[in-house]
């Protein structure tokens, strides 16, 4: 399990990748190697769904049946393709939320857990305060651009570590493809938006994000020969190539073979 030492994460590190992102942080075995503006509050796009997934997994068993409401069915952006009235298991909607980044799944789960998205968002903000995520504030459950909706790379690294500590969520963020079915038998084919899965040795998640204000965002986690590397990029210039470079150099620095097998 990835563990981030709070004092170490707060310390940051030198900027080894200038211009790669508006903010980034690279941690190896929970210790910061390199960073730039890691404490700066920026739009978090669908990286927001890391908190959503944590609260849903905590509140709802995966086998619970969720009925999709009209608000979820109307959700814009990335979608599973849910229609109002559809019924799916909460665990399958979590797969749609984390893998496909489905905003329809996101709102359906938020409404199921808290009765409304607004009440769910209040829980998200309360939990952010409880966990000491000082630069994190949510205005919605999915990551849509909105005034006051933001997080820092450092806070998102801490959230990602919490997601990876929950076995069911850790499996989902590492899954490339999955087929789920509604209660009515309808099939939903899910492909993970993280194109690095299956391409970077040891890669096991975590989440992508994009909006017009946030730009291209990414949290990537890899494990090789007992060593962990976690990368967070906000408003990345070229998130895929830069993340690969950061991961490979971090493992080289940490002493793990750059082409080692994932653990």
What domains does the chain contain, in order, with CATH numbers? 6-254 (3.40.710.10)
Helix 49-59 vs helix 90-98: crossing angle, to nearest 10: 170
Instruction: Report residue 4's pLDDT band, with 50, 70 and 90 as the boundaries.
Output: low
Widest distance between CA atoms in the chain: 53
Which residues have a Cβ under 8 Å from the Cβ of 28 and sit 6 or more positions away?
A: 227, 228, 229, 250, 251, 253, 254
Q: Look over the chain and give the mean of its residue pLDDT values, rounded to a whole number.
A: 93
| pLDDT score, position 258 | 46
CA–centroid distance for 55 within its chain: 13
pTM of this structure: 0.92
How far apart are alpha carbons 153 and 135 in whole angstroms?
9
Mean pLDDT, rounded, for 107-121: 98
How far apart are alpha carbons 112 and 127 in whole angstroms?
18
Which stretch of DSSP H or E encloses residue 153? Answer: helix 153-164
Instruction: Tell me the pLDDT tens digit for each residue of 46-63.
Output: 999 999 999 999 999 999
User: Among all residues, which ones are annotated catalytic?
Assistant: 46, 49, 101
Instruction: Tell me the pLDDT tens digit for each residue of 163-193.
Output: 999 999 999 999 999 999 999 999 999 999 9
4-37 per-residue burial string, b: 16 or more CB within 10 A, e: under 16: beeeebeebbeebbeebbbbbbbbbbbebbbbbb
């Amino acid at each position: 399990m990835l563990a981030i030492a709070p004092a170490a994460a707060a310390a940051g590190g030198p900027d080894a990748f200038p211009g790669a992102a508006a903010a980034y942080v690279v941690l190896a075995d929970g210790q910061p190697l390199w960073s730039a503006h890691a404490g700066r509050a920026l739009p978090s796009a669908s990286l927001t769904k890391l908190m959503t997934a944590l609260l849903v997994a905590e509140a709802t068993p995966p086998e619970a049946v969720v009925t999709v409401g009209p608000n979820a069915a109307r959700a814009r952006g990335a979608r599973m393709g849910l229609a109002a009235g559809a019924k799916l298991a909460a665990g399958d909607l979590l797969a749609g939320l984390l893998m496909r980044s489905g905003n329809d799944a996101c709102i359906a789960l938020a409404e199921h857990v808290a009765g409304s998205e607004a009440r769910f968002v209040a829980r998200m903000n309360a939990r952010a305060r409880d966990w000491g995520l000082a630069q994190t504030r949510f205005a919605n459950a999915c990551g849509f651009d909105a005034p006051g909706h933001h997080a820092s790379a450092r806070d998102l690294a801490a959230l990602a570590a919490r997601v990876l500590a929950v076995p069911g969520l850790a499996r989902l963020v590492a899954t490339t493809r999955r087929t789920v079915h509604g209660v009515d038998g309808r099939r939903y084919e899910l492909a993970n938006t993280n194109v690095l899965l299956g391409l970077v040795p040891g890669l096991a998640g975590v989440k992508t994000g994009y909006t017009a204000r946030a730009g291209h965002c990414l949290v990537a986690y890899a494990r090789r020969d007992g060593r962990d590397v976690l990368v967070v990029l906000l408003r990345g210039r070229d998130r895929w190539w830069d993340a690969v470079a950061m991961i490979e150099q971090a493992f080289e620095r940490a002493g793990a073979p750059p082409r080692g097998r994932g653990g």
